[in-house]
Amino acid sequence: MTETQGSNPSRRALIGWGGAGLALGAAVAGGAVAVAQSGEDADPVADGMGGAVEFHGAHQAGIATPVQDRLHFAAFDVKTDDREAFVQLLKDWTEAARRMTAGKPVGEGAYGGLAEAPPDDTGEALGLKPSRLTLTIGFGPSLFDKFGLKGQRPAALVDLPKFPGDNLERSRTGGDLCVQACADDPQVAVHAIRNLARIGFGKVAVRWSQLGFGKTSSTTPGAQTPRNLFGFKDGTRNIAGTETGRLDEHVWVGAGDGPAWMTGGSYLVARRIRMNIETWDRTSLQEQEDVFGRDKREGAPVGKAKEHDEPFLKAMKPDAHVRLAHPDSNGGITILRRGYSFTDGTDGLGRLDAGLFFLAYQRDVRKGFIPLQRKLAAHDALNEYIQHVGSAVFAVPPGVRDSGDWWGRTLFSKEA
Ligand code: HEM
């Protein structure tokens, strides 16, 4: 496997991923090649690969993968008109992602290279385990207005409608691209996004980003279901990562769905949902349980004893969240939820700016999130306690097949 997939790896090794070492231009032009100490050789993490999630596969990791504890999610705006430069960035990002998910530093590493150039890797993940890091890329609707991609925009990649109660902030909405970084160590996730942003300098810029500190869903039903900031078990009835039949039916884009470049991919909806935890905390236990249609201790549906007992929807209040969101109330609609809790300081009114960064994967947004959210936005008892303040939708391309493949190849290259 080559160290870098870029067109001119030795030059990049010299000048750093940010292209910041311009002063070295003369040396580079003169053909000087520095033999920088490889961060890989120097890094003890490379010996013990425990906790690494396979980067290659038919589907991108980070969707059906057992949910990690932490999230750093970033949406990017494209800053270049140069299609070739953008494609090169996707290749460079892929190579960096391949290395970071394996617990290796980016490029030539964080130290040991040319003293005159910034190191390829920023260094804060040195010595840390791969921590099950996954990096998942998505393409937003606005990307298809660029680079001659108009005809390639999937019909399923619709702009989300305005739902009742939405109070979206522009600065937390949209994006040409996104990268979802999930890991069990927050520093590993942040390092990954930071280094991708750095590699993208001049070609992309971070539009908004979101940290998540606690998973609010599970794709491993055998494991303990995590709780959200309202204190309820969340993710009880989700698609499991091992349920390949349900994943094919509800999450992965099928061969006939179109366009061909999306086969094996998925669609991601991200919503920053503020939770009014102070109001919730003054609400009676009975009201809290009525809102969800499940009890707080066990997470059992109304009238049942155990969390995983089949819900009897009619026993729940008509506006109970679970009753409204359940597939039986929605012609079978099923999405894969993968959200995280967040707290981002205060709102300036003496309350925590806290909530759920909701992430949902589905085969078609028009048959998944949109009809579901239309119903919830109109009727859900939960609406008294939450507000959607950020929103984005992305086409998540299929997985990177092998060490010669790259993120977005099926969209940008004619090659099959
Ligand atoms: C802050 C906002 C939200 C909170 C606190 C929340 C919380 C919960 C909880 C506690 C459950 C029950 C446990 C489970 O099966 O996971 C649940 C179920 C569910 N939620 Fe939410 N949820 C929120 C927003 C949403 C949104 C925006 C959607 C989709 C548009 C959604 C879709 C679902 C679905 C599909 C289920 C499973 C229903 C079933 O099959 O029984 N939720 N949610």
Domain that holds residue 355: 53-416
Asked if 319 and 381 touch (Cβ cutoff 8 Å), the reply is yes
Q: Is the pLDDT of residue 48 over 80?
A: no
Residue 70 is assigned to a structural domain of this protein: yes
> How many other CB atoms are found less than 10 A from the CB of residue 224?
9
What is the reported pLDDT for 9?
38
Instruction: Provide the token pair at 279.
Output: 């109001």
- Global pTM? 0.89
104 vs 218: which has the higher pLDDT:
104
Q: How confident is the model at residue 323 (pLDDT cuts 50, 70, 90)?
A: very high
How does pLDDT run across 338-375, given as a tens digit for each residue?
Answer: 999 999 999 999 999 999 999 999 999 999 999 999 99
What is the reported pLDDT for 356?
98
Residue 25 is assigned to a structural domain of this protein: no
Q: Is the pLDDT of residue 16 over 80?
A: no
Q: Is the pLDDT of residue 13 over 70?
A: no
What is the reported pLDDT for 174?
98
Phi-psi label, residue 31: left if phi above 0, alpha if psi -120 to 50, beta otherwise: left
Report whether residue 358 contacts ligand 1, using a CB cutoff of 6 Å: yes
Q: Is the pLDDT of residue 67 over 70?
A: yes
Q: Is the pLDDT of residue 39 over 70?
A: no
What is the reported pLDDT for 415?
54
* Percentage of the chain lying above the pLDDT 90 cut: 85
CA distance 22 to 165: 50
Residue 89 is assigned to a structural domain of this protein: yes
Q: What is the crossing angle of helices 83-101 and 186-199, to 10°?
A: 160
User: What mean pLDDT comes out for the span 149-167?
Assistant: 98
User: What mean pLDDT comes out for the span 281-300?
Assistant: 98
DSSP state string for 28-97: HHTT----PPPHHHH-GGGT--TTPPP--SSS-TTSSSPPPSEEEEEEEEE----HHHHHHHHHHHHHHH
Mean pLDDT of the chain: 89
Asked if 316 and 323 touch (Cβ cutoff 8 Å), the reply is yes
Residue 3 is assigned to a structural domain of this protein: no
Residue 400 is assigned to a structural domain of this protein: yes
Instruction: Provide the token pair at 49.
Output: 């690969």
Mutation to probe ligand 1, out of 337, 340, 356, 357 (largest number of atoms < 8 A from CB): 337
Tell which residue, 270, 221, 266, 262, has the closest CA to residue 248. Answer: 266
Phi-psi label, residue 269: left if phi above 0, alpha if psi -120 to 50, beta otherwise: beta
Residue 34 is assigned to a structural domain of this protein: no
Q: How confident is the model at residue 296 (pLDDT cuts 50, 70, 90)?
A: very high
User: What mean pLDDT comes out for the span 67-71?
Assistant: 96
39 vs 294: which has the higher pLDDT:
294
Report whether residue 139 contacts ligand 1, using a CB cutoff of 6 Å: no
Number of domains in the chain: 1
Residue 250 is assigned to a structural domain of this protein: yes
Q: Is the pLDDT of residue 406 over 60?
A: yes
Terminal Cα distance for the chain, rounded? 21
CA distance 75 to 233: 28
Q: Is the pLDDT of residue 205 over 80?
A: yes
What is the reported pLDDT for 414?
67
Element containing residue 164 per DSSP (H, E): none
Q: How confident is the model at residue 264 (pLDDT cuts 50, 70, 90)?
A: very high
CA distance 53 to 61: 8
Beta-carbon contacts of 245 under 8 Å, excluding residues fewer than 6 positions away, are none
Q: Is the pLDDT of residue 390 over 90?
A: yes
**Across 14-18, 30-34, 107-111, 142-146, least confident range:** 30-34
User: What mean pLDDT comes out for the span 375-400?
Assistant: 98
Instruction: Provide the token pair at 272.
Output: 């920053």
C-alpha of 122 from chain center: 22
Strand partners, 352: 346
Residue 40 is assigned to a structural domain of this protein: no
Q: Whose CA is nearest to atom 36 of ligand 1?
A: 325
Report whether residue 230 contacts ligand 1, using a CB cutoff of 6 Å: yes
**Ligand 1 centroid from CA 97, angstroms:** 31
What is the reported pLDDT for 217?
83
